[in-house]
Structure 1
Amino acid sequence: MPTTATPEFLDKLYAALPEGTFRAHKDGELDDPRGRHQGLSVTVAMPRTVMEVSTIVRLCFEADVGVVPLGGGTGLVLGQVVFEGPAPVVISLERMTAVREIYPSENAMVVEAGAILHDVQAAAEAVDRLFPLSLASEGSCRIGGNLATNAGGLNVLRYGNTRDLCLGLEVVLADGTIWNGLKRLRKDNTGYDLKNLMIGSEGSLGIITAATLRLFPRPRHEAAAILVVDDPQGAIDLLALAQQTLGEGISAFEMISGVGLDFLAETLPDVRQPFETRPDWCVLIDLGLSGEGDPKDMLLGLFEAASETGLVSDGVISQNEAQRQAFWSVRENIPTGNRHIGSISSHDISIPLSRIPDFIPEGITKLQALGDVRINCFGHLGDGNLHYNVFPAKGRDRAEFDDIRGAVKQCVHDLTQAYDGSISAEHGVGRLKVADLERYQDPVKLAAMRAIKQALDPKGILNPGAVLRPK
C-alpha cells in the first residue's frame, strides 16, 4: 500500500526535475465527471519526456508513494479519481503531445500518450490516412487514456477496439524502468504479449508514454441512414441483413431508442431529428467505401430489401456530408441529453447479440418494479455494447431515487451476468466497479490478475485502488 508523501520526499522530487514541472491540481481537474467524488493529489507533475516520467516514478517507487497517470480526465469509472487514502503524485501527460513519426506506406504512426485523439486523427488525415477511433470526447481525451482503458467508440464493428489499433508501446514500469516496445510489426511472436497486457490495465501495471498506432486507407465515399425498426429483434435482424448485403464497408451500426429521442427533444430541441413522429426504435448505419460504388445506392438497396421483409417501416438516407453529420449529431448528442436529465445509474454493458432482444425488456420490467423510472437503452449494437441507463420519471429528480441507486445497478449487473454478458464493455473498471469485478468475475481470472499486479507492481504504487482492491 502507498504511504503519505513526506516533505522530504517532495523536496527530493522537485529537485530532480526541471523548474516548472510541478503544480497544484486545478479546480475540478481530478474530479468525477458525474460530480459524485473529488480527487486528491499531493502534486501534479507535467513531464516533457519519457525520461522525466521515469525519474518521477522511480522516486515514488523508492518512497512508496502512489502514482496516478492523468490523460484527458474524461473517464467515467473513477480510474483517474483517488478520493480516499494517501494523496498520490498525479502525472499529467499534457506536455507529451508530439507526433514523433508517420509512416504512410506502412499505415503506422508513433505518437506520445498526451496527444489529443482529435489531433491524432488530423495527423493521419494530413497524410491521407485514417485513424478510426472515434469517441464523443475526442476533442479532449488523450491517446494514452484511450489505450489504458481500451476505449471502444463508434467504429469497433469495422476496426476494433483501441487494442486492435495499436502495434507497439513505450511504457514506464513501477520501478521507473522503461520498456521500449514501439515496434511497427504486424507479426511478433517473441514471448508474452506485454503490449496487450498494458492496454486496458488503466495505469495499474505501467504508464503508457507513447504508442505506435495502426492507420487505414481513408474511405472515399461515405453515407449514413437512419432506419426505423419495430424492436431490438428487428435491429438484430437488420444488422445481419446489412452485413450480408453491404459487407465490410459498415463502419457503425448504432441502436437508438425512442426514450433517447424524447430526451433530446426535452433538453436539446435545436438538435434536428430525422422523423416528425419519434419511433420507439431506430438504427443509424454508417457506410464507407474505399473503392468504387455509391454508398447511398447501397443503403437504398438495403432499405428496399428490409422493407420488403417487414424489417423496417421508415427511413432516411443522407444525400451529402452535411446530412450525414446531421444524422450523427442525433446519436452523439444522446449522452448530452442524458446528462441534462440526470441518471439514477448508468451502465456500460455488453450482451451476446442474439440475447439482446430478451435482455432489454426483462431489464425494463425488473427496473420499473423498483421505482418510477425510465430506461434509455442505446449503443453500439454491432458489437453488442449497450448503454443501459436508468432515469427518473419525467418531472422527478434523480436525488429522489438515491435510496434505490445501488439496487438499480445490482439489478442491471445481475441480469447482465445471467445473460453471459460483461458489466464493463468499454469504459473500464476504475474504482467505481472494483466491487462489481469481485462479485461477477471468474475467481481464477481474478487470482491471475492479482498475481500479475504483484509481479509488475509489488509495492502497489501504480494507480492504487483502480481495477484491483489494494492489499
Structure 2
Amino acid sequence: MKAFLDACRHAIGAQYVLTAADETAAYLTDWRRRFTGSAFAVVKPACTEEVAAIVRLCHQFHVPIVPQGGNTGLVLGSIPDASNTAIVLSLTRLNRIRAIDSVNNTMTVESGCILQNVQQAAADAGRLFPLSLASEGSCTIGGNLSSNAGGTAVLRYGNARELCLGLEVVTPQGELWNGLRGLRKDNTGYDLRDLYIGAEGTLGIITAAVLKLSPLPKAQRTALAALRSPDAALRLLTLAQMRCNSALTGFELMSAFCLTLVGRHFPQMHLSFREQHAQYVLLELSDSESEEHANTLLEELIGDALQQDIVQDAIVATSLAQSAALWDIREHIPLAQAAEGKNIKHDVSLPISVIGDFIRSTDALLQQAFPGVRMVTFGHLGDGNLHYNVAHPEQETDAGFMAQQTTVNRVVHDNVHSFGGSISAEHGIGALKHEEILRYKSAVEIQLMRAIKQALDPQNIMNPGKLLT
C-alpha cells in the first residue's frame, strides 16, 4: 500500500495521512467502547475536492473506505472491522458554513460541521435549526444525515431527512454530484437526496448539505408530568396535540427507573415530586406568538390533564434555568446507564397507538425469560421512537448478562416486528444490526437495496460490512 499512501499524501498533505498507532487510535474505537477496529491509515481531507481525490485513489487501488464524522454512533457504523484493509476517511476538517439565506430560510454547511455550531450559527442569524441530540456538541452534520438522525424535536420539525433540501456527494468512483439546491419543490426525477440520507455512507460520501431553517420561537415552556402508565402518557399526548397543535415541540417518555438511575449517579439532579410515579413525560412548547400565550397554553394543558386524572403531578419550569435542569435529567439517562454498568440497548420505532401494549407485553416476556431484569425505557413518544434498554438484574454481573444479548434482542425485536414496528428508529443499522434486518425485512426489500448498492458501488468500497452484507 505504499504507492497508495504516497498518492494520498501528495493529494492532501502528508500531515493529514495518519498511520502511527498513537495517531489513529482515537478513530478506531466506537463511542460506547464496545469494539476497536483496525485501519492502515486515517485520512483527513479539508475540502470536497480533496475528498474526491482520495476516493478516486481508493477506487483505483480497491481500498475500502469507512467515512467518519464525530464518531458518536451506537451501531458501529463509522468504525472499521479488524481486517486492517480499510482507511478511515475523517471529515472533521470539512467544517465551514458556506452560506446562510435568511429569506429562503436555508443554510449551506459542510458535512464535518458540529451540530451545535450549526445551531449557534442559525441562532446568530435569527433562525432556528431544530435538530437536537444528546451528542450535539460532538456529532457532525454528515453523520446526522447519513443516519437520518432524529432527536427530541421530530414531533414538530421532522428528522434529518425533513430538515435537508439538498446535498453535495462524492460518488464511489470519485465523481461529484452537486445537488445543493435550496428548493422545496423539485420534481425532476429520482430523489437522489433521499437515497443518500440514511444510507450510512454505503453509497457515497456526503460532503455538504443545504439545511432548512425556521423562525426562532418567541417563547419556549417546559413541564415534567408524572403519570401512572404509558397509556396515560398517550392520553396526555393526544390532549397536548389537540390543545397546542404545532406549538408542541417535544414529548419525551421516561420510566421511573430512568429517574432512579439519574438520581443515584447524579444526586445533584433532585426532583421535588412528593412520591415516585411509574412514568414521566417531559414536554416542551415552542410558541410563535408571545411568552404570555405560551404560559397560558401550558397552564391550561396541565390543568386539564390534572382535572381529567391523566396527570398525577407536574413541575412547570418558570425560568430558562429550570427548563434546562429538566432537560438535563432527560439527557443524563444514558450517562446514568453507563455508570450503572453495561446494558442492552434497543432503538425501536412503533405506531404511537400501540406503545403502551408493546411496553407491557415486552416487559412481561423479558421478566419471564430473565427474572429481575431492569427496564430503562425512555424516548421520543411523540414520534413513536423508544429507547427500550435492558439492564442486568441487580444480583447478576453486567458481563454475564451481556452474554445473553442475542437472546434478549430476539425477544425485543420479534415483539417490535409483531406490533408493526422497526428495529432501528434513529441510530441506523451499521455493523451491529446488519444480520438483524435480514430477519425482519422482506426478500424483495433486501433485493432492491442490494441492487442499488451494486449499481452505485460495484467494487463495494464504501463502508463495506455496514447496513448490508
Q: For 1:335, what is the secondary structure of its paired residue?
A: helix
> Partner letter of residue 61 of structure 1?
H
Q: 2:77 aligns with which of 65, 76, 79?
A: 79
Aligned to 2:3: 8
CA distance in 1, matches of 2:125, 2:434: 42
Q: Does 1:412 align with 2:407?
A: no
Aligned to 2:237: 239
Correspondence list, 1:62-461, <5 A: 62-292=60-290, 293-371=292-370, 372-394=372-394, 396-461=396-461
Shift of 1:288: 0.7
> Partner letter of residue 79 of structure 1?
G
CA distance in 2, matches of 1:274, 1:346: 29
What are structure 1's unaligned runs of at least 5 residues?
Answer: 1-5
Shift of 1:272: 2.6
Considering only aligned residues, what root-mean-square deviation do their CA atoms show, in Å?
A: 1.2
State the Cα deviation string for residues 212-250 of structure 1 (Å, max 9, x = none).
Answer: 000000011111011111100000011000000011001
Shift of 1:340: 1.0
Q: Does 1:36 align with 2:34?
A: yes
CA distance in 2, matches of 1:296, 1:395: 46
> Partner letter of residue 296 of structure 1?
N
Shift of 1:35: 2.1
Aligned to 1:3: none
Residues 296 and 319 in structure 1, CA contact (< 8 A), matched pair in contact too? no
Q: Which moved more, 1:260-269 or 1:6-15?
A: 6-15
Residues 256 and 279 in structure 2, CA contact (< 8 A), matched pair in contact too? yes
CA distance in 2, matches of 1:154, 1:98: 25
Residues 337 and 343 in structure 2, CA contact (< 8 A), matched pair in contact too? no
Residues 149 and 202 in structure 1, CA contact (< 8 A), matched pair in contact too? yes
> Partner letter of residue 211 of structure 1?
A
Identity between Structure 1 and Structure 2 (%): 45
Q: Does 1:47 align with 2:69?
A: no
Q: For 2:411, what is the secondary structure of its paired residue?
A: helix
Residues 21 and 45 in structure 1, CA contact (< 8 A), matched pair in contact too? yes
Q: For 1:294, what is the secondary structure of its paired residue?
A: helix
Q: For 1:170, what is the secondary structure of its paired residue?
A: strand
Aligned to 1:462: 462
Q: For 1:52, what is the secondary structure of its paired residue?
A: helix
Shift of 1:86: 4.3
Q: For 2:150, what is the secondary structure of its paired residue?
A: coil
Residues 342 and 402 in structure 2, CA contact (< 8 A), matched pair in contact too? no
Q: 2:24 aligns with which of 9, 23, 26?
A: 26
Residues 37 and 83 in structure 1, CA contact (< 8 A), matched pair in contact too? no
Residues 272 and 326 in structure 1, CA contact (< 8 A), matched pair in contact too? no
Residues 27 and 79 in structure 2, CA contact (< 8 A), matched pair in contact too? no
**Normalising by structure 1, what TM-score?**
0.96
> Partner letter of residue 296 of structure 2?
D
Shift of 1:395: 5.1
State the Cα deviation string for residues 141-173 of structure 1 (Å, max 9, x = none).
Answer: 000000000000000000000000001000000
Q: For 2:77, what is the secondary structure of its paired residue?
A: coil
Q: Which moved more, 1:425-434 or 1:386-395?
A: 386-395
What are structure 2's unaligned runs of at least 5 residues?
Answer: none
> Partner letter of residue 101 of structure 1?
A
CA distance in 2, matches of 1:237, 1:97: 43
Residues 101 and 111 in structure 1, CA contact (< 8 A), matched pair in contact too? yes
CA distance in 1, matches of 2:405, 2:449: 29
Shift of 1:16: 3.0
**Normalising by structure 2, what TM-score?**
0.97
Q: Which moved more, 1:71-80 or 1:293-302?
A: 293-302
CA distance in 2, matches of 1:278, 1:116: 38
Residues 24 and 41 in structure 2, CA contact (< 8 A), matched pair in contact too? no
CA distance in 2, matches of 1:54, 1:441: 33
Aligned residues: 464
CA distance in 2, matches of 1:274, 1:458: 59
CA distance in 2, matches of 1:375, 1:342: 13
